A and B are shown apart, each in its own frame.
Chain A
C-alpha cells in the first residue's frame, strides 16, 4: 500500500496554506513530516485523510483517488491518529477501540468475538488492556492518545497517518508509541515535532516551511545545521550522540 501526493494545493479561508506539495510513502516505510508551527503539516494531513478537499492536485492511495473515494473504503486501509479527541459523551475504552472495526462492518452486522480479539490485542499493544472498561473521559491526555492509537490499530490499516501523535505524552510514552507504530510494519506518515525522535524512527523526512517542501531525504542528509537554522529560526549545533551514535541537536541562544 503506497500513498502518493502530487502537486497538492490547499486553501483555508482564502489563504494558501499548502503550495505544490508532492510526497510519497512507499509500502511499509516510516515517513516523517517536520516543520515549524503553521508550516501546513496538519493541513496537508487533513487533506490526506479526507477532511479537507485540496484545491488542486492528486492524493492517491494505491492509485485510488482518496478525495473521490468512499470514506468507508479508505478507512479499511488507512487509519488516523489525529488531534480531535474531545468528547461530549463518554465511552468506555473498549467501546472507543471497537469503533475501529466500523469500516469493516456492514450496518446491521454485530461485533464478532474476532473483533473483540482484535480490539483487545490492540489495547495490549499500547499497554492499556487493564483500562478496557474505564471511562475514556476519566483518562489523562496521554492515555487518551494511546486509546486512539489502539483504535487505529484495530482498524488493521496498511497506512497509518499520525498528526503529532506524541503531543501530551511524556518521554517514555513518546518512545513507546513510536516503537509500537514502527513495529506494526505498515506505511506511516507522521507529523513530528521532535527532531531527534524523527531522526531515530523515520526512514525518510519531508521538511515543510510556509506550505512548501523545502527539503526531503534520509534524516541524516536532511537534518543539517543550515536547514534547521533556516526553517526553525534557531541557532543550533547538530552532533552525533555519544551514547547512541544517533542524531542529536543542541539548541543555542
Chain B
C-alpha cells in the first residue's frame, strides 16, 4: 500500500498540465542565470555583476554604470569573444542532444537509446574525420558544411547499421540494440582513430581525444550559425510531433489502431536525429550520455507525455551541458578536462542504475 501511496503522490505532477508554462519560465530564467555565471567563471574570474553588464551593453546597447569600466581591460574580450560563443554552443549542444535522445528513445521504443549508445555519434565522428581527410576542414563555411555533411552521412549509416543488426533475427530488443550499438560504436571508433592516428594533425584533423571525449574549446562566433540553424530547426520540428511520439511509445500495432502508421515517421525521425548528431559531433566531438540521462530525468518529473518531455528536455539539456562545461573548465586549475569525461562520469552511473534497478532489457522483451 505504501508503494501505491508514493506512486500517487508522484503522479500528481503530470496531471497538472497547467504548470508547464511556469516550469518552462523557470528553466529559461535558470538558463539565463547560468549563462551569466558561466561567462564569469574560468581561469580569469570576472565578477558576475560586470559580465552581465558587458552582455547587456553588447547585446542591447544598454550601458549600466561606468562605461569605461566595461570596455577597459581584457574582460570584454574574454566574455564576448571567448566565453559567450562557447556557452551558447554548449546550450545548443545540450538541447540538441537531449531532444535527439527523446526522439530516438521513442522511435525505437527503447529507454536505452541515445546517439552515443547506439553508435550514431561515433558514426558521425568517422564521417567527419573522413571528410577532413579527403580535403575539407579549413575554417571556410563551405568546408564546415562539407565536414557536417560527412558527419551526417556517417551518423545516418551508423543508425541504419545498428537497426539492421538489431533486427536481424526478429524484433529488436533492448539488449540487441545496445549490443549492436556497442559493435558499431567500436567499429566506427577504430576507423576514425586509425584516420586520426595516421593523419597526425597534418590535415587539420583534431586529436583522438577531441573526437572520443568531445570539447567545446574550439567554439567561435563564426562556427555558431551553422549549428544554431540546424539545432533550432530540429527543435522546432520536434515540438509539434508530440502526439505521434506518444503513440510510438504504445507500439506499432496500437498506433495503427489509433490512426498512425509509424514506419514512415520513424524513418524521418531517425534522419533528423542523425542530422543533429552529425552537426554537433562535427563541431564538438562525441559528448556521451546527455541524450540518455536528460530525457530520463525529465520523465521522472513530467511523465512520458511528449508535450511536456520535449520542451522541458530542451531546457534541462541546455542547463546540464552549460554546467558540465563549467566543471570541465574549472575542475583542474590551468587546464581543461574534455567535457565527455564529465558527462560520462555523471551519465554512466545513471545508465547502470537504469539497467540494474529498472531491469531494462535483461530477461524481458
Q: Which among B109, B174, B247 is the interface contact of A102 at CB below 8 angstroms?
A: B247
Question: When the two chains form their complex, are residues A134 and B257 in contact, meaning their CB atoms are under 8 A apart?
Answer: no
Binary interface encoding of chain B residues 141-158 relative to chain A, with 1 for a CB under 8 A from any of its CBs, else 0: 000000000000000000
CB of B208 closer than 8 Å to a CB of A: no
Residue of A nearest to B260 (CB): A71
Task: Say yes or no: A79-B257 contact (C-beta < 8 A), given A89-B304, A95-B304, A134-B11.
Answer: yes
Binary interface encoding of chain A residues 66-93 relative to chain B, with 1 for a CB under 8 A from any of its CBs, else 0: 0000011111101110101111111110
Question: When the two chains form their complex, are residues A107 and B247 in contact, meaning their CB atoms are under 8 A apart?
Answer: no
Tell me, in angstroms, the Cα distance from A92 to B110 when the chains sit together. Answer: 18
Binary interface encoding of chain A residues 153-173 relative to chain B, with 1 for a CB under 8 A from any of its CBs, else 0: 001000000000000000000
CB of A64 closer than 8 Å to a CB of B: no
Q: Which of chain B's residues 200-233 have a Cβ closer than 8 Å to chain A?
A: none
Taking Cβ atoms with an 8 Å cutoff, the residues of A that contact B are 46, 49-51, 71-76, 78-80, 82, 84-92, 94-96, 99-100, 102-103, 105, 107-108, 132-135, 138, 155
Residue of A nearest to B262 (CB): A71
Tell me, in angstroms, the Cα distance from A144 to B247 when the chains sit together. Answer: 17
Contacts of B258 in A (CB 8 A): 75, 99-100, 102-103, 155
Contacts of B15 in A (CB 8 A): 92, 94, 132-133
Question: When the two chains form their complex, are residues B303 and A92 in contact, meaning their CB atoms are under 8 A apart?
Answer: yes
Contacts of B1 in A (CB 8 A): none
Tell me, in angstroms, the Cα distance from A53 to B316 when the chains sit together. Answer: 43
Contacts of A96 in B (CB 8 A): 250
Binary interface encoding of chain B residues 30-55 relative to chain A, with 1 for a CB under 8 A from any of its CBs, else 0: 00000000000000000000000000
Other 14 A-B pairs with CB < 8 A, given A134-B11, A138-B7: A49-B257, A51-B252, A72-B260, A84-B253, A84-B254, A88-B109, A88-B174, A89-B105, A90-B303, A91-B250, A91-B304, A92-B303, A99-B250, A133-B14
Question: When the two chains form their complex, are residues B11 and A89 in contact, meaning their CB atoms are under 8 A apart?
Answer: no
Q: Which among B110, B240, B252, B303 is the interface contact of A107 at CB below 8 angstroms?
A: B240
Tell me, in angstroms, the Cα distance from A102 to B248 when the chains sit together. Answer: 12
Contacts of B253 in A (CB 8 A): 46, 51, 82, 84
Q: Which among A50, A76, A105, A134 is the interface contact of B8 at CB below 8 angstroms?
A: A134
Tell me, in angstroms, the Cα distance from A94 to B15 when the chains sit together. Answer: 8
Taking Cβ atoms with an 8 Å cutoff, the residues of B that contact A are 4, 7-8, 11-12, 14-15, 105, 109-111, 174, 240-241, 243-244, 246-247, 249-254, 256-261, 299, 303-305, 360, 365
A-B contact pairs, 7 of them (CB 8 A): A89-B111, A91-B249, A94-B15, A99-B250, A103-B258, A135-B7, A135-B11
Task: Say yes or no: A74-B303 contact (C-beta < 8 A), given A99-B246, A134-B7, A134-B8.
Answer: no
Contacts of A138 in B (CB 8 A): 4, 7
Question: When the two chains form their complex, are residues A75 and B110 in contact, meaning their CB atoms are under 8 A apart?
Answer: no
* Most chain A beta carbons < 10 A, residue from B253, B261, B303, B365: B253
Residue of A nearest to B251 (CB): A84
Question: When the two chains form their complex, are residues B243 and A102 in contact, meaning their CB atoms are under 8 A apart?
Answer: yes
Question: When the two chains form their complex, are residues B257 and A82 in contact, meaning their CB atoms are under 8 A apart?
Answer: yes
Tell me, in angstroms, the Cα distance from A79 to B261 when the chains sit together. Answer: 15
Question: When the two chains form their complex, are residues A71 and B304 in contact, meaning their CB atoms are under 8 A apart?
Answer: no
Tell me, in angstroms, the Cα distance from A100 to B247 when the chains sit together. Answer: 10
- A111 smallest CB distance to B (angstroms): 9
